[in-house]
Amino acid sequence: QVQLVESGGGLVQAGGSLRLSCAASGRTFDIGTMGWFRQAPGKERECVALIIWSVCSTYYADSVKGRFTISKDNAKNTVYLQMNSLKPEDTADYYCAASRFRGEYWTTLAYEYWGQGTPVTVSS
């Protein structure tokens, strides 16, 4: 089992920045890929960024490319999502997720482990 705990969400004005953290514990050696997902009210959960655990290759959704950065601290088993130039449409609950599979997986179905979520609200 892998446990994931997110932190860092909050309220920010448009154009501002936030950094989300996701601390992984347990069988972290099982992790192949970690992703950050978000879900806005009435919308499906979507992946915005992912990182291949062992090689730190990163991938981004077009909607956040150039504004969000996913990174990993190996010593802390923590993945971060630095969010800059935030827009009101970035408002959502943000979740980190871990998959045993290593690859560019954008679907929620590929991820077995999920954090509890952290809310991000961007005011205009």
CA distance 35 to 33: 7
How does pLDDT run across 51-88, given as a tens digit for each residue?
998 888 999 999 999 999 999 998 999 999 999 999 99
Q: What secondary structure does DSSP assign to 3-38, as a single string?
A: EEEEE--EEEETT--EEEEEEEEESGGG--EEEEEE
pLDDT for 74 equals 87
Q: Which two tokens stand for residue 21?
A: 């953290």
How does pLDDT run across 86-108, given as a tens digit for each residue?
999 999 999 999 999 999 999 99
3-state SS assignment for residue 39:
strand
Cβ neighbour number for residue 62 with a 10 Å cutoff: 7
